[in-house]
Structure formats: structure tokens, C-alpha cells
Amino acid sequence: QKEVEQNSGPLSVPEGAIASLNCTYSDRGSQSFFWYRQYSGKSPELIMFIYSNGDKEDGRFTAQLNKASQYVSLLIRDSQPSDSATYLCCSNFGNEKLTFGTGTRLTIIP
Amino acid sequence: DGGITQSPKYLFRKEGQNVTLSCEQNLNHDAMYWYRQDPGQGLRLIYYSQIVNDFQKGDIAEGYSVSREKKESFPLTVTSAQKNPTAFYLCASSTPGQGKETQYFGPGTRLLVL
């Protein structure tokens, strides 16, 4: 069974601090990894994708991929109250389908 | 203005009734997907389609049916065989990419049982 695991949280972070969200996956064949943000009652929206080992930065967001250790993380710098949401990690495991983790609920405390 | 639309936003199903959820995209994406999300849970794949007139079962296809007669449309029918249909249903479509496909989601339909 190919799985993606996330700490469900909730994770509370003070405003302005760095939020660190982590995800592990079971299959070394995974090629692509995605982070989605989902506000309560809304659909997921794509934040970042990463295919290669190392870091990928986009504004306040940095995705980190370590294929040897089978983990992917998302860092949010200068956290804002608007970052409060559930963050979904997923992988395609080398095929056209995505397998999602259960999500980590993040709360930014003003 | 490209995107994915789902209708209705809320849908109520009576016992023994079949209901159909609509999903339309004008992004010219070949692949489309249906997911189900239960409270506090991740997304589970119901059905997906990579080309017109072809679709495959996902992880929880029992009690659901789909069709793909047009590239733009991928309706999902929740049949009376689905005994616990209350959930948030999400439609997605993806860019082609040989293992790097990125999925984009519609706004969702919330199905409730009367």
C-alpha cells in the first residue's frame, strides 16, 4: 500500500515565525510531490510542487525534498494569520494518480 | 476566464435516490478526477479519466458511476448503492506531464442525505 503520512496537528505557530510542515511517503518510486492549502469549507489550492532533491523557494514558501529519507517538507516564513489552513501533502508515486495525506491543520496565532 | 466549475454547491439526496454531480473544465486538460473528502480526512480517489470515452476506478468506486463523453465534462453519479454518501466531492483536472501532472480543483459539491 502506497502511503503518504502527515502529522494531523493542529500545529500552532506565532505570527511572524516559521511554520514547518512535514510529510513522509512509502514508495521510493515517487516522482512528484505537491503541497495544497485548503481553507475550511473550500477546495484545495496548489501551493508548491517539487520534483528534485533539495529546496525550492517561492516567495514565503520553501519546499524541501529528500528522496533518500523519503520525506518532503514545507516551510512558511513570516507566517501570517491568512496562512491558517489545512495543508495537504501528496505524491503521484510515478503514475497519473495522486495519493494524499490526511493533512496538517495549521493555526497562526496573532 | 479558464477554470473548473462544479454544480450544485449543495445537493440533498433522499433515501434510494441517484444524484448526479456536474464537473466542467475549460482548461483543455485531458485528465479529470473525482475525489471524496470526509471531515478531517484527506482526499480519496473515486474515478479518473485520462481521455474521452475512457475512465478507471479509483480506490473507492463502489456505489458511484461516471461518464466522459466530452473532454470538458466528467459527471459523477452517486447511486443508491452508496450507503454513506454524505461528504465533500471534489473534481480536478490535470496538465499532461509524464509523471509531473499538476492537478487543479473545482470549488466542490457538498452532498447531504435527508
Provide the pLDDT confidence category of residue B1 given band limits of 50, 70 and 90.
low
pLDDT at B47 over 80: yes
Whether A108 and A83 have beta carbons less than 8 Å apart is answered as yes
Whether A75 and A58 have beta carbons less than 8 Å apart is answered as no
Q: What is the mean pLDDT of each run of 10 residues along chain A (110 residues)?
A: 83 97 87 93 94 94 94 97 96 81 95
* Cell reading at B59: 480506490
pLDDT over 90 percentage in chain B:
79
- Which of A96, A99, A102, A105 should one mutate to test binding to chain B, selecting the residue with the greatest count of B CBs within 10 A? A96
Q: What is the mean pLDDT of residues B76-102?
A: 88
B41 vs A8: CA distance, rounded Å: 9
Provide the pLDDT confidence category of residue B95 given band limits of 50, 70 and 90.
confident
Instruction: Name the residue in chain B with its Cα closest to that of A9.
Output: B40
Provide the pLDDT confidence category of residue B98 given band limits of 50, 70 and 90.
low
Q: How far is CA B52 from CA A75, B32, B57, B70, in A?
A: 39, 10, 15, 6
Provide the pLDDT confidence category of residue B2 given band limits of 50, 70 and 90.
low
Are the Cβ atoms of A96 and B31 closer than 8 angstroms?
Answer: yes
pLDDT at B99 over 80: no
pLDDT one-digit tens code per residue, B19-38: 999 999 999 999 999 999 99
For residue B1, give the 3-state DSSP assignment.
Answer: coil
By CB neighbour count within 10 A (0-12 exposed, 13-18 middle, 19+ buried), where does A36 fall? buried
B60 touches chain A (CB under 8 A): no
A48 vs B21: CA distance, rounded Å: 29
